Amino acid sequence: MNIPEILGHLATAFNIAAYSMRTMIPLRILAIMSNAVFIVYGAIGGIYPVLVLHAILLPLNAYRLRQMVRLVRSIRHADMGDMQTEWLKPFMARRRHKAGDVLFGRGEVADELYIPLSGRFRLVESGMEVPFGQMVGELGFLAPDNRRTQSLECAADGDALAISYDDLRQLFFQNPEFGFYFLRLTTSRLFGNLARLEGQIAALRGGGGPVADNRAG
């Protein structure tokens, strides 16, 4: 067996091993190793389509690996008392919204979550404005029926990041640490909403105003 054949078999073995991985970081590492060996194989054997293909795939796999490693590091070093959403932004799409646009309505089937970046975004039923950089619409992802609990409206022209629940599920499956952190973030919001609701009930019993629904589905 000559050197090109050995390289071809080795690259194929790396490729098979990559597809057998259950999580994304090991998959990308093995894919990069496979790309590198296939490039050498294509160069030595003069098989230029293989060389070109893996020369393109190598930087793509390296970029995706870097994204996932940064995500894991951000999650590991995040302060759970002041949880942020910067780690999610590279996986989201930026969209422009005009005043009056309704991003989602109460009772609709939920399929995306959002992070406002500029302008003004308001939860219609509670009248609450969503601060810049805060997730909104994540509760529908966890709700048994995936229904929205409030409506989200753009009150002034601005930009918001969006990610579909399908893409969010892929991040869950690719990295368990992401799933754990996302659940911690979501439950912290739920406990915060519960504390506000208890405070409003106490105020109502003491003669305060009506209780507002603070859930952001």
For residues 183 and 103, membership in a common domain is answered with yes
Residue 73, both tokens: 């590091």
Containing domain of residue 136, as a range? 89-205
CATH number at residue 166: 2.60.120.10
Q: Which residue has the higher pLDDT, 208 or 143?
A: 143
For residues 198 and 99, membership in a common domain is answered with yes
Count of domains in the chain? 2
Whether 173 is in a domain gets the answer yes
Whether 216 is in a domain gets the answer no
Whether 84 is in a domain gets the answer no
Q: Which of 29, 51, 77 is the last residue of a domain?
A: 77
pLDDT tens-place string over residues 99-135: 999 999 999 999 999 999 999 999 998 888 998 988 8
Flag whether pLDDT at 177 surpasses 90.
no
For residues 38 and 111, membership in a common domain is answered with no
Whether 192 is in a domain gets the answer yes
Give mean pLDDT, residues 154-162: 95
CA–CA distance, 37 with 54 (Å, rounded to integer): 9
pLDDT tens-place string over residues 72-96: 776 666 554 445 567 778 889 999 9
pLDDT for the residue 96: 96
Pick from 127, 134, 131: which is nearest to 113 by CA? 134
For residues 14 and 52, membership in a common domain is answered with yes
Q: How confident is the model at residue 153 (pLDDT cuts 50, 70, 90)?
A: very high
Whether 82 is in a domain gets the answer no
The DSSP string of the chain is --HHHHHHHHHHHHHHHHHH-SSHHHHHHHHHHHHHHHHHHHHHHT-HHHHHHHHHHHHHHHHHHHHHHHHHHHHHH--GGG---TTTGGGSEEEEE-TT-EEE-TTSBP-EEEEE-SSEEEETTTTEEPPTT--BS-HHHHSTT-B-SS-EEEEESEEEEEEEHHHHHHHHHH-HHHHHHHHHHHHHHHHHHHHHHHHHHHHHHTT--PPP-----
pLDDT tens-place string over residues 179-200: 777 777 777 777 777 787 788 7
Give mean pLDDT, residues 66-73: 78
Average pLDDT over the chain, rounded to whole?
Answer: 83
CA distance readout (Å), 138 to 2, 35, 114, 135, 162:
56, 37, 8, 7, 11
Give mean pLDDT, residues 45-53: 91
pLDDT for the residue 154: 95
